[in-house]
Amino acid sequence: MAVSGAHTVAFAVRGPIGRDDLPGLCDRVCALLDRTRPDVALCDVRGVPADAVTVDALARLQLGARRYGCRVRLRHASPELRALVAFMGLEDVLCD
């Protein structure tokens, strides 16, 4: 959960996401985090399909964000995506 007064940045991820997209997506988001140095990154995943590749991408983004002392929080995730994230044991990592 974002702390009052925390520096926040927002970005959107659009889908569908293919396995080949993962390195570039992670590089672009990490470059944003490197430039802005936020405490919290709000990731809009509206319309992104609920599949294993999407969850893999989101987990990689969270891992990359930790290198910058940042946490990724999902915004506008579908109930299906939230359920899949929970099923994969990542709810505490990716969801508020």
**Residues 55-87 pLDDT 10s:** 999 999 999 999 999 999 999 999 999 999 999
Write down the pTM of the prediction: 0.85
Report the pLDDT averaged over residues 10-15: 93
- What lies within 8 Å, CB to CB, of 45 at 6+ separation is 12, 13, 15, 54, 58, 74, 75, 76, 77, 78, 81
Count of residues in the chain: 96
Going from N- to C-terminal start, the domains of the chain cover 8-94
What CATH superfamily is the domain 8-94?
Answer: STAS domain (3.30.750.24)
